Structure 1
Amino acid sequence: VPPSSFRVIDGLVSAFLWAGKRPLMAKRKLQAGVQQGVRTPNFELYHIAQEISYLFRTASTEGRDVLPSVQVERDKTQMRIAPWCAGLNISGSRDSNPVIRHARSCWHKARTICGQSTHLNADSYLWENPAILVQGKPVRWVTWVSGGICRIGDIWGPEGVLSFPTLRETFSLSSAEFLHYLQLKHSLSRREALTPGMLQTSPINELQRTIAGKRGTVSRIYSFLLNKSPPNRDSTRKAWEAELGLAFTDDVWEEALASTLTAGTDIKSRLIQFKIVNRIYWTPAKLSSAKLLDTDRCWRCSSERGTLLHMLWECPNLQCYWTQVRAFLGSLLEIDTMDNPWAYILGMDIKGLRLSKGEIRFVKSALVTAKRVILRHWRQADSPTFQEWFLTMAETATHERVILKVRNKLDLFEKQWIPLMINLQKT
């Protein structure tokens, strides 16, 4: 598949997501895994996962106790990747067959995503390896192969290349192979990536061993590769730390990123929380710094700088609103409500409350609804009201009930929303 095809598809997805406007976020952040993104599909990565899955399935079972991952490497090298190559012309250069060349390229990309060299790790195939040269070219010694030496890991030990007597005893090599041994040892000693000590196995090869015989191979490989290359969110994290005046631990920051999944059952609530955590919403301060607005003053109070934290929490015109919401949740769940903004805005430290899982989900949904009401008045001088939030919560409850009923999980709705429903009946 030409790389240009994936660019066209990504362009269509971007045009749909951003309504034809300039994207406000890198596509990698949208494509991030379960805990960090909204999981828009990465078609190129899925194509690589499908190709890797096919390589796993078609690895030959020939040979003497050869690991499937090693067999994949060997089949690639010897142009025996798959049965469908049988009728193709594979003579001449080993890259003359476009199918095999593409398979080799996908394998290399998967290794690169895992952050490991394709040619210099414990599972790398030793023969015809372009990184291991003897007299300026890759080699393949039949005697060594027939003895069972296939991987770099087969000849490597804690102190580097194993001694020749050890190799002779283990793989039944003849003394005539000592010259080959010296040549190979000299070649490996020149590779800076190979240092004394146990070599790491390739993560992609470990994955193959883990998922062998399981269903959903392509999806498992896709998720594995996706989580191996998470987007860099350091700038977003630092911006929140600067506004809140504190430093996040990695666990707390991961909780904030994962809050998009627990913001509610409906996609709209999750998208609102995702945009807040990733600071996508335009604020007076952001518009002013981009030279799109003359002033950075808040649209409500017109007295303080309109940062994202101010627009969602610190604005004096919002204090009455948040006080009423906090008081209602406290009386409804019989708890002492939190007074830290990171819990209300980023969904952090809510697990610290002594609540059941259903009550925690209810609190998170209530807070996202509160922020949704604020966003309705984003560029307006008037402030949201508690009554508006309460009515929106009733609408959210109705919507959640429909979704959970379709999923045959009405018992979950009752556990999560019954306190609010009782209160609604009283009013």
Structure 2
Amino acid sequence: HRAGVECVKHLFKNGTFMSAAQLEKDYGISSKTNYFRYLQVRDFVKKSFSPSLELPQSGWIDELMGTDPTAKGTISTLYASIQNVASPSLDNVRRKWEEELGLDISEVDWGGAVDLVHSASVCIRHGLIQFKVLHRLHLSKEKLARMYRGPIRPAPDVNRCQPTYATCFGLVPG
């Protein structure tokens, strides 16, 4: 770090991993006393980033690490970038709903349902319940049985009807 090598990207010159002699020339790192360290770093880069020892393409994480931490709005920018990358696709959830309901849900209808989860109720508790039902995250009897390896014995009046996800969806006004 004292020599000026702050990140792995600094070990590349013209898109290729530098030799020990180049590092000595550019950064003043002695190749005689640090040659074993050089081999360790080169092996790590080869295994983790680029087997050909060529500079890999910059990704979103490289852009995040390059932002100025003292600039105004940095936290918002970081949060938005992470959300854009880490947002899971809801296609699997939509497919499961389509299978259970026996109909095709259009992109517009699905997007509307997802948006309504966040705006249909001012009560946070109701919003959380709607979110869990839509994303199929609540603990149904089937999930509980898989978790605890045995039949779940609910109260006698609960088993009068066989509830499904579709039943829950039918009970939602709208």
Q: Please report the TM-score for the alignment, with normalisation by the length of structure 2.
A: 0.53
1:277 to 124, 134, 139: 134
CA contact (8 A) 1:275 1:281 kept: yes
Look up the SS of the partner of 2:166 in the other structure.
helix
Gaps of 5+ in 2: 146-150
Query: Could you report, residue by residue, the CA deviation over 1:214-272 in whole angstroms, capped at 9, with x for unpaired residues?
Result: 0474x665x469747668989866653441347889998676444322435x2366456
Measure, in 2, the Cα distance between the counterparts of 1:167 and 1:285: 60
- The whole-number CA distance in structure 2 between the counterparts of 1:163 and 1:190 is 13
**Cα offset for 1:187?**
1.0
Give 2:100's aligned residue. Answer: 243
Deviation at 1:209, TM superposition (A): 0.9
Name the counterpart of 1:149: 5
Contact 1:243–1:309, Cα closer than 8 Å, also in 2: yes
- Aligned residue number for residue 39 of structure 1: none
CA distance in 2, matches of 1:188, 1:250: 48
Cross-structure match for 2:117: 260
Residue of structure 2 aligned with 1:206, choices 60, 64, 69: 64
Larger Rg: 1
Equivalent position to 1:290, from 144, 152, 171? 152
- Asked if the contact 1:283–1:306 (Cα under 8 Å) also holds between the matched residues in 2, the reply is no
Deviation at 1:204, TM superposition (A): 7.9
Query: How far apart are 1:312 and its partner, in Å?
Result: 3.6
Structure 1 residue matching 2:71: 3-state secondary structure: coil
**Contact persistence 2:120–2:127 (CA under 8 A):** yes
Change (3 A) 1:190 1:284: closer
Equivalent residue runs for 1:315-330 within 5 Å: none
Cα distance 1:207–1:182, how it changes in 2: closer, same or farther (>3 A)? closer
Please give the alpha-carbon distance, in whole angstroms, between the structure 2 residues aligned to 1:293 and 1:235: 32
TM-score, normalised by the number of residues in structure 1: 0.27
Contact 1:285 1:306 in 2 (8 A): no
Instruction: Say if 1:211 and 1:256 are closer, same or farther in 2 by CA, change over 3 A.
Output: farther
Aligned partner letter, 2:38: K
Matched, 1:185 2:42: no
After superposition, the Cα gap between the structure-2 partners of 1:252 and 1:153, relative to the gap in structure 1 and judged at 3 Å, is farther
Number of corresponding residues? 160
- Partners of 1:241 and 1:247 within 8 A in 2: yes
Q: Residues 220 and 257 (structure 1 numbering): CA distance in 2 closer, same or farther, change over 3 Å?
A: same
- Cα RMSD (Å) of the superposition? 5.2
C-alpha deviation, 1:309, in angstroms: 0.8
Is the 2:12–2:55 contact (alpha carbons within 8 Å) kept by the matching residues of 1? yes
How far off its partner does 1:203 sit?
A: 2.7
C-alpha separation between the residues in 2 aligned to 1:273 and 1:258? 11
Q: Distance in 2 between matches of 1:250 and 1:181?
A: 58
The sequence identity of aligned pairs, in percent, is 19
Q: Report Cα offsets for 1:309-365 as digits up to 9, x if no partner.
A: 13543xxxx9xxxxxxxxxxxxxxxxxxxxxxxxxxxxxxxxxxxxxxxxxxxxxxx
Residue 209 of structure 1 aligns to a residue whose secondary structure is: coil
Q: Is the 2:117–2:131 Cα contact (8 Å) retained in structure 1?
A: yes
1:357-396 correspondence to structure 2 within 5 Å: 370-371=173-174
Deviation string 1:37-71 (CA, Å, 9 cap, x unpaired) is xxxxxxxxxxxxxxxxxxxxxxxxxxxxxxxxxxx
Change (3 A) 1:306 1:189: same
| Contact persistence 1:167–1:173 (CA under 8 A) | yes
- What secondary structure does 2:117 align onto? coil
1:306 counterpart residue number: 163
Q: Distance in 1 between matches of 2:20 and 2:48?
A: 22
AA aligned opposite 2:41: L
Matched, 1:162 2:18: yes
Structure 1 counterpart of 2:148: none
Q: Is the 8 A contact 1:260 1:274 kept in 2?
A: yes
State the distance in 2 between where 1:251 and 1:183 align: 59
C-alpha change, 1:180 and 1:259, in structure 2 (3 Å) is: farther
Query: 2 CA distance for matches of 1:226 and 1:203?
Result: 9
Q: Please say which of residues 245-254 and 194-203 is displaced more in the overlay.
A: 245-254
